[in-house]
Amino acid sequence: MDWKSKRVRSIIEAALIEDKAAYDITTALTVDRKLRATGTIVAKQPCVVSGLGAIPAIPEVFGALSEKAGNPPIGRFEVIHHPEIFDGVRVKKGQPIAVIRANAATLLSTERVILNLLQRMSGIATLTSEFVKAVDGTRCQVLDTRKTIPGLRSLDKYAVCCGGGHNHRLDLADGILIKNNHVALGGGLSKALANALKFRKPKQTVQVEVRSQDELAEAIAGGAESILLDNMTPAAAKKAVKQIRAALPGVPIEASGNMSLETVRAYAEAGVDFVSVGALTHSATAVDLSMRITADK
């Protein structure tokens, strides 16, 4: 995925427009436009950092603001963080994450957008790291899903990677996954699978979601190239893995549904290659960060 794509810039531009960062009335009336200041972003709880590296939220915010015609000039700015602080690293409560030296008014006007981005991304990275730790020692990898906040998918999926997870499909054009509704509307599992295999483009893998023993048998008989075990118990998943390994050696096996920190280990130990966890992006709690701003002398 191209983390520095126009998609990322458009997300940040939308956030600045939403907050009307270029029209900060309070700052305009109270702060000298020539004043310089330093903003220090501090972790108020232990967390895994996301938003400093491949998607550098702070300079992206400043860059997006400065590129818009009619916005007040932001002047020079500098973002500093210790070499030991980078995306994917765990920090302690009270630990500084980054220091921004910039125009004071610009810092005040962009503070909330910067913190919102870093807090959400770091929250996703932190939760992902907990799931990765829960399956440590198994062959299983943790995947995200498309259950992301509308408009924020690129940032959400990048944050998953910062936490040690991996990305499933970015969007509907990014892979073939036959789910229960495709089966219902496509004439049954066997027919839907046969059509997908016949008409797909070269190098496209056809994955099939199965929810029962009968569907699993159809998927195996139809030559599915990847199988997703949906909402099965760990015991049922273990049985399914044995069947798939015997009939289709090497076919990737994924489990989804009912994934929590309490249950994910059991699915991993059932022998699946992947667990997909919607909670990574739809239920992650933003971490608590603050920005301390002081005037430069």
Query: For 239-273, what is each residue's pLDDT tens digit?
Result: 999 999 999 999 999 999 989 999 999 999 999 99
Query: Which candidate in 112, 211, 238, 239 is catalytic?
Result: 112
**175, 181 contact by CB (below 8 A):** no
Establish whether 130 is a catalytic residue: no
Query: For 84-127, what is each residue's pLDDT tens digit?
Result: 999 999 999 999 999 999 999 999 999 999 999 999 999 999 99
Residue 147 three-state SS: coil
Establish whether 230 is a catalytic residue: yes
pLDDT higher than 70, residue 72:
no
* Residue among 37, 45, 62 nearest 117 (CA): 62
Query: Which candidate in 209, 218, 254, 273 is catalytic?
Result: 209
The residue extents of the domains of the chain are: 6-126+284-295, 133-282
Query: Which candidate in 101, 147, 169, 238 is catalytic?
Result: 147
Q: Where would I find the beta strands (DSSP E) of 107-197?
A: 141-143, 176-178
Domain 133-282 has CATH 3.20.20.70: yes
Establish whether 33 is a catalytic residue: no
Check for a shared fold between 6-126+284-295 and 133-282: no
Query: Which candidate in 230, 254, 265, 273 is catalytic?
Result: 230
Classify burial at 214, counting beta carbons within 10 Å of its beta carbon; exposed 0-12, middle 13-18, buried 19 or more.
exposed
Q: What is the CATH number of domain 6-126+284-295?
A: 3.90.1170.20
pLDDT reported for residue 67: 66
Average pLDDT, the chain: 94
Specify the residue for token string 């990898």: 141
pLDDT higher than 80, residue 8:
yes
CA distance 133 to 1: 24
Query: Which candidate in 179, 211, 238, 239 is catalytic?
Result: 179
Establish whether 156 is a catalytic residue: no
